[in-house]
Amino acid sequence: MPQISPSILSADFARLADEAEAVRGSDWLHVDVMDNHFVPNLTLGVPVVESLARATDIPLDCHLMIEDPDRWAPQYVEAGAGSITFHVEAAAAPVRLAREIRAKGARASMALKPGTPIEPYEDLLPELDMLLIMTVEPGFGGQAFLDIMLPKIRRTRELIAKHDLELWLQVDGGVSAATIERCAEAGADVFVAGSAVYGAEDPARAVHNLRELAAKASADAWWACEH
Ligand code: DX5
Ligand code: ZN
């Protein structure tokens, strides 16, 4: 079953507990941490993640768009996140970092910006629980989905099949009812959606609809049929 991770970047930051409640039934809550260095935007840090983890039962999917994740990522595990995504472009030692995140008890995930290819990282994939392919340039919600990322999603799904890995494949950026089927067909199975969920009149229903669309689109895909 595809998983949906609503991004609170599009939520009301003054009412985060209510906004988590508004997407009841989501598999994850996507928390975008930005440091105004790795990306040209600033959001939130460890104290907010700590409070949010206490305020909701939905596991937190922390997307770290920050410099020096080797130093900071472990603190987000301690803050209560269930999954930590660091950017490979910022990590000094991605294998060591993934192992540390796992050893501390969270799922370890690595993100690729649109300009970063997957091929150099084929041998690292067994160290990860999830790979995130950005489908916009990271930094802001509400941007247009980059169709040119679909071949990278497909090639990554082929690598997962080739090595028979239990690796989730997440997409983030511009995912909506208009684009989620293409992502699912290509091989994604975890979908981040910010504006498509929090911009909807009924966010919980939007999550449900997105999951249905993804499930239908992936049901007949080559990569899902084999499993
Ligand atoms: C962008 C963030 C995304 C963002 C997605 O850098 O990583 O998680 O919230 O927002 P939408 O779904 O509106 O593109
Ligand atoms: Zn994100």
* Secondary structure (H, E, C), 133-191: EECCCCCCCCCCCCHHHHHHHHHHHHHHHHCCCCCEEEEECCCCCCCHHHHHHHCCCEE
Give yes or no for residue 80 CB within 6 A of ligand 1. Answer: no
| Distance in Å, CA 103 to ligand 2 centroid | 23
Question: Which numbered atom of ligand 1 lies nearest the CA of 41?
Answer: 6
Structure tokens at 115: 């300009």
In angstroms, the CA 96 to CA 159 distance is: 22
Residues of the chain scoring pLDDT < 70: 225-227
C-alpha closest to that of 170 among 197, 214, 217, 134? 134
| Distance in Å, CA 226 to ligand 1 centroid | 31
In angstroms, the CA 140 to CA 194 distance is: 10
Q: Which helix (H) or strand (E) holds 225?
A: helix 222-225
**Does the active-site annotation cover 68?**
no
**Does the active-site annotation cover 32?**
yes
Torsion angles phi and psi, residue 118, rounded to 5:
-85, -30
Q: Which helix (H) or strand (E) holds 197?
A: helix 195-198
- What's the pLDDT score for residue 227? 52
Question: Which numbered atom of ligand 1 lies nearest the CA of 139?
Answer: 6
- What's the pLDDT score for residue 76? 98
| Distance in Å, CA 172 to ligand 2 centroid | 6
Give yes or no for residue 30 CB within 6 A of ligand 1. Answer: yes
- What's the pLDDT score for residue 222? 87
User: Under DSSP, is residue 35 helix (H, G, I), strand (E, B) or coil?
Assistant: strand
Sheet holding 29-34, edge to edge: 3-6, 190-193, 168-172, 130-134, 107-112, 83-87, 60-65, 29-34
In angstroms, the CA 21 to CA 18 distance is: 5
In angstroms, the CA 136 to CA 58 distance is: 25
Candidate of 4, 60, 133, 192 to mutate for ligand 1, largest count of ligand atoms within 8 Å of Cβ: 192
Q: Is the dihedral of CA 27, 29, 35, 37 positive or negative?
A: positive
> pTM of the predicted model, to two decimals?
0.98
